[in-house]
Structures are given as structure tokens and as C-alpha cells.
Amino acid sequence: MPPSSPDSPEAPRLLAGGNPQIPKGDGDAPVQAYIAAMPDWKSEVGRQLDALIERAIPDVQKAVRWNSPFYGIKGQGWFLSFHCFTNYIKVTFLNGDELRPRPPVDSKHERVRYLHLVEDEPLDEVQLGDWIAQAANLPGDPLF
């Protein structure tokens, strides 16, 4: 789905830091709308991240909650989300403290760990794919 022109009436509003404002919704369509609305280089990285998650977890469930894509396993809960900030994309591993090696960025939440994706730095698809597979095998956030 190509991104909408910023001048078109259906273009999502970008919130502080450039995060797209996408209505809450279940399934692939709202996640793809979010990814298409991600500004600049972030949209391509969002597509890469989404594809990597789908390859690692073919039966992944998707939704947009709190203006962020969420990925989960039915009956287990959410295991990952991501969110746009001005200079990076924050990938949230909801049980990241249990991943090995642990994702590099701490959280104020004891079990959560983050990975920041920045422009011009390629995705480490091997490490990220391993974290995704590990995270999907842990009990997720029960809001799912």
C-alpha cells in the first residue's frame, strides 16, 4: 500500500516525533496503514521489520493499539511492538528481559527491553530474528 500524500485528506496525522496516528484495529490492514504512514526512512525499516516477524512467526497476530503495531500469538498475548520517534524506531520486546542476549536498551518496566533502529544502520536480521523467535515462545502481554 503506497503512502498517502501528506496533503491528501486520508493521510494519517503524525504525532510528536513523527509517530502515525492510526485508529485501533485488529489484523494486517491497520498495521500496514501504520507502516505506510511512517515518515521518511522509517517506512522501509517498518516493512523490513514486519516481513521479518512474518517469516519468523507465520501465524503471528497483528493489531494497532496506542498508535503502535503489536504482534502476538493467539492465546499467549503480545510479544513485540514498535513506535516511531524523531530519530529512531523503538522496538519493544514485552518480555525482553528473558531474551538472550538481552536487547540493549533498559526500560522502567522490569521485564521490557528495547532495541532502537536508526537511519543508515542496517537491521541485524539474524539477531533480530532470533529475538523475535524467542519472544514469541514466551508468555506475552495478557491484553491480547
- Indicate the average pLDDT of the chain: 91
What proportion of the chain, given as a percentage, has pLDDT over 70? 91
pLDDT at 144 > cutoff 60? no
In the numeric block, the cell 523467535 is attached to 133
- Name the grid cell of 36: 505506510
- Name the grid cell of 134: 524467542
Domains identified in the chain and CATH numbers: 16-136 (3.90.1150.200)
Cross-strand bridge partners of residue 63: 26, 70
The per-residue pLDDT for 142 is: 67
pLDDT digits (tens, 9 = 90+) for 14-27: 998 889 999 999 99
How confident is residue 143, by pLDDT bands cut at 50, 70 and 90? low
pLDDT digits (tens, 9 = 90+) for 12-60: 899 988 899 999 999 999 999 999 999 999 999 999 999 999 999 999 9
Contacts of 41 (CB under 8 A, 6+ apart): 119, 120
